[in-house]
Structure 1
Amino acid sequence: MGHSIAEIACALGAEAAGDLSIVIAGAAEPAAAGPDDLALAMDPKYAAGLAQGRARAALMWQGADWQAQGLEAVIFAPRGRLAMAGLSAMIDPGPAIAPGIHPMTVIDPTARIGAGAAIGPFVTIGADVEIGPGARIASHVSIAAGSRIGAQALILEGVRIGARVVIGDRFIAQPGAVIGADGFSFVTPEKSGVEEIRQTLGQRAEIREQKWTRIHSLGTVTIGDDVEIGANACIDRGTVRATSIGSGTKLDNLVHIGHNVSVGQDCLLCGQVGIAGSSRIGDRVVLAGQVGVNDNIFVGDDVIAGGGSKIFTNAPKGRVLLGYPAVKMETHLEMQKALRRLPRMAAEMRSRKDGTELSQDGDKD
């Protein structure tokens, strides 16, 4: 089944022109688009690909000369990626999970499953679990006792949800995500080397044997509405209080949220971000790939941290950070410029010392 140009434009709230009755079955890059595809040419730099493809219609930037491209219809997208979000939602068929409950699934008699649920094979749902209406749960998912999951959840293959986890509406979990595993929390009978180093910043009185004693995780995880969790991401339960993820927050693949962490609303945590235990992340924070956040610190609202940054101290709201350790982005750039000048400066110092001069490229004359 497809959608007409008129239907797509209406759904996107966008202007369209040409033959609005053309039916679109899919979307494609301009050079690869066929007659039933909507070519995605939201920027002038993609227009050249239209001549290589066979698209009859395209999603283009505002004011594009679509007729000169030989198209029969166009949808104008003032903000291309936003239009792409709406278009992809219309076209995506979603996972193939048959309605009802698969006979090879095990559900505890005390669990409550909402109306319209679709639950695949080899799913295990524990005692006193509540699943909201319209949930779709793919194969090999396990949901432990006492958990609550809101309406319209989409939980894909191999997701593990621990005991007493509370999740809001329209939750999405990609394959392999683990929510509610125990936190990584251990203690030694005497002060450990780690504790000593944290106090002295490098000095140790003596090195001695130490054995780790486990601190059990008594808390759980709470997740708001419209949260998405990426593949193989891990959210640890709290030691006593709950680890929490605010509504609208999105976690990429391989993100790790430590025990007792609080993440605010509408945050974006990209691949391989790690947040250590008991840190607090404000609202609308963006952490790019491989950003690390130290334990027991606060990252304020609207902070943006560039890829690979390591945040070791509190970050005030609105700050843009970069580097290891993370500093203001403009400070980091100045530091890098200075670092690149060091070889030249060292050569100049040597030349002055031995009385030689440097040529333009830095070599001795």
Structure 2
Amino acid sequence: MSVTIGELARALDAQAWGDQSLPVTGAAEPSETVPVGKDGGVIALAMAPKYAGALRPGSMAILAEGMNPEEYGLKAAIFAPRPRLVMAGLTRAFDPGPDIAPGIHPTAVIDDNAEIGEGAAIGPFVVIGANARIASGARIGAHVSIGRGTRLGQDALILPGARIAHGVTAGERLIVQPGASIGGDGFSYVTPEESGIEEIRRTLGTRDDLRAQHWTRIHSLGGVEIGNDVEIGANATVDRGTIRATRIGSGTKIDSLVQIGHNVVIGEDCLLCGLVGVAGSSKIGDRVVLAGQVGVSDNIEIGDDVIAGGASKIFTRVPAGRVILGHPAVKMETQMEIQKATRRLPRLASQVAKLQETVTRLLEKG
């Protein structure tokens, strides 16, 4: 596709500079720009001087407000009041999307009782179960499976190899990346007698009696309920509930390799980054951010607007609005003091050793 620099600026609600009739054919890194030709050229995102220095004279770029395009010899530029927001608009404008041909591929296996909405595109080797409902505008990539009774809202995009089990309900504009699994059984087992896990929770670590134990499956009868505008990353997993559904609120974005346990409730507009694990029956509020490798213990509650730094391990309830870090997670400022104190330990140990030597000599003399 091609748009002019002026059209692109208006679409991004930003200010243009220079020749606004120049065609823009795509986006590039600053070092990959070339002078704009008669057929147009790519535009670079160079929103700080350290990036703009790599721009080629005669090219086009998106700059931060206050930068001087003439300094870099540009032919045209767009000024971004909020650079990453402009980046979102730019990448959306030039994203061709996945190659899913319109219509239903002849190799797809669709149950006679399934309902496929108008304009849906179903790729090769897709399997759709009985009584499933796929709304209009959905695009289902190759080798996707969708279980019985599952309902996907309008404009869903399910990319190749994703697995959506039975009894899943999703709102509009769901995006599921390759290899994700939604609606698998929860990891829930019980022993006829008190298990070792239950024992150490009761005794805080003491084991009185070691004996053979055998696990009995607790079946997962609940489903998964997903709101509107949810995205689920590659190879992420969302387990179904035991009795009630596992729930993911509207606007929430889940990164690759995230694990959501059974009965978990996640609020709206949350951000769960790569390798996050949320154990069963925990409740997460709205607008919560869990950075990479955060772990959330089972049966706890995290309030609205909490931000957890990378690799934090959350074992207890977190009140709304708190910023936490560490293992175990505590207030970020507390964790920073802990880290400072930890770095001082070698010096402190050395000082204590010297004091011990001094005391020993004094005692020997006395």
TM interval, shorter chain, is over 0.9
Q: Report runs of 4+ in structure 1 exceeding 3 Å deviation.
A: none
* Residue 153 (str. 1) matches residue 156 (str. 2): yes
CA contact 1:38–1:55 (8 Å) conserved in 2: no
The count of aligned residue pairs is 354
Q: CA deviation at 1:63?
A: 2.3
* Residue 346 (str. 1) matches residue 349 (str. 2): yes
State the distance in 1 between where 2:343 and 2:65 align: 43
State the distance in 1 between where 2:150 and 2:57 align: 50
State the distance in 2 between where 1:97 and 1:295 align: 39
The structure-2 alpha-carbon separation of the partners of 1:150 and 1:340, relative to structure 1 and needing over 3 Å to count, comes to same
Q: Which amino acid aligns with 2:9?
A: A
CA contact 2:136–2:155 (8 Å) conserved in 1: yes
The equivalent of 1:14 in structure 2 is 14
The equivalent of 1:324 in structure 2 is 327
Q: CA deviation at 1:54?
A: 5.8
% identity of equivalent residues: 63
Q: CA deviation at 1:55?
A: 5.6
CA contact 1:37–1:55 (8 Å) conserved in 2: no
Deviation track 1:139-173 (CA, whole Å, cap 9, x = no partner) reads 00000000000001110010000101000000100
State the distance in 2 between where 1:28 and 1:231 align: 25
Q: CA deviation at 1:176?
A: 0.2
State the distance in 2 between where 1:355 and 1:268 align: 55
Deviation track 1:318-344 (CA, whole Å, cap 9, x = no partner) reads 110100000000101101111111111
Q: How does 1:95-106 map to 2 (within 5 A)?
A: 95-106=98-109
State the distance in 2 between where 1:66 and 1:205 align: 74
* Residue 68 (str. 1) matches residue 75 (str. 2): no
TM-score, L = length of structure 1: 0.95
CA contact 2:57–2:72 (8 Å) conserved in 1: no
Q: CA deviation at 1:56?
A: 2.1
Deviation track 1:21-62 (CA, whole Å, cap 9, x = no partner) reads 111111011111233110111122211111xx3662111111
The equivalent of 2:281 in structure 1 is 278
TM-score, L = length of structure 2: 0.95
State the distance in 1 between where 2:192 and 2:108 align: 45
CA contact 1:33–1:55 (8 Å) conserved in 2: no
17-26 vs 320-329, greater mean Cα deviation: 17-26
* Residue 232 (str. 1) matches residue 235 (str. 2): yes
Q: Which amino acid aligns with 2:155?
A: Q
State the distance in 1 between where 2:266 and 2:153 align: 19
Give the secondary structure class of the aligned counterpart of 2:91: helix
Give the secondary structure class of the aligned counterpart of 1:6: helix
The equivalent of 2:3 in structure 1 is 3
State the distance in 2 between where 1:103 and 1:129 align: 19
Q: Which amino acid aligns with 2:100?
A: I
Q: Which amino acid aligns with 1:339?
A: T
The equivalent of 1:246 in structure 2 is 249
Give the secondary structure class of the aligned counterpart of 1:58: strand
Q: How does 1:172-321 map to 2 (within 5 A)?
A: 172-321=175-324
The equivalent of 1:363 in structure 2 is none
State the distance in 2 between where 1:195 and 1:125 align: 41
State the distance in 2 between where 1:110 and 1:287 align: 40
CA contact 2:57–2:74 (8 Å) conserved in 1: no
The equivalent of 1:135 in structure 2 is 138
State the distance in 2 between where 1:237 and 1:151 align: 22
Give the secondary structure class of the aligned counterpart of 2:197: helix
Deviation track 1:194-253 (CA, whole Å, cap 9, x = no partner) reads 001111110121111100000000000000000000000000000000000000000000
State the distance in 1 between where 2:130 and 2:59 align: 54
* Residue 44 (str. 1) matches residue 49 (str. 2): yes
Q: Which amino acid aligns with 2:137?
A: G
CA contact 1:6–1:20 (8 Å) conserved in 2: yes
The equivalent of 2:90 in structure 1 is 87
State the distance in 1 between where 2:58 and 2:333 align: 45
Q: Which amino acid aligns with 2:16?
A: A
Q: CA deviation at 1:6?
A: 1.3
State the distance in 1 between where 2:324 and 2:225 align: 28
CA-based RMSD? 1.0
Q: Which amino acid aligns with 2:243?
A: V
Q: Is there any run of 5+ residues in structure 1 with no aligned partner, and where?
A: 357-365
CA contact 1:167–1:224 (8 Å) conserved in 2: yes
The equivalent of 2:62 in structure 1 is 59
The equivalent of 1:26 in structure 2 is 26
Give the secondary structure class of the aligned counterpart of 2:340: helix
